Amino acid sequence: MAKKKRENYLDYVPVIDPRNTWDAQDGKVTIHMVHRGFYAAVAQKFFHTPRVSHIDLDEYGSYLWTRIDGKKTVGELARDMKARFGQGAEPLYDRLVKYMQILRNNHFILLGGKDKVPS
């Protein structure tokens, strides 16, 4: 039986999902997420939920977000974070991988090598 290859998030290349817009002001990033789909439409019509949510990122998230360019791997982004925040970023790799998983699960980013990334 063949061994199952373990995922290494450090090799993936994050790409900002083009379905969402974002802006940066005073070094803080705000992601503007449009709610799509049947259930979102029902919630907007009957429960008056907003069509667009505005998600404000903290200092670490904003720094990381502005470095995601579709070319750098998660490992390279980790080195950038270490250079910028030093010991304040520790435990770096555990936090960064979890953060990338959260961004991906919320459809803010796609991971090249794992997701179909639009050209």
Per-residue model confidence as pLDDT tens digits over 28-57: 999 999 998 999 999 999 999 999 999 999
| Residue 49 within any structural domain of the chain | yes
With H, G, I as helix, E, B as strand and everything else as coil, classify residue 32: strand
The pLDDT, as a whole number, for residue 118 is: 66
Question: Which helix (H) or strand (E) covers residue 9, if one does?
Answer: none
What are 108's two structure tokens? 């803010």
In the chain, how many domains are there? 1
Question: Which helix (H) or strand (E) covers residue 95, if one does?
Answer: helix 92-105
Question: Could you tell me the pTM of the whole model?
Answer: 0.84
| Residue 3 within any structural domain of the chain | no
| Residue 26 within any structural domain of the chain | yes
Mean pLDDT in each 10-residue stretch from start to end of the chain (119 residues)?
71 93 95 93 93 95 95 95 93 93 94 73
Domain holding 99, by residue range, is: 9-112
The pLDDT, as a whole number, for residue 2 is: 60
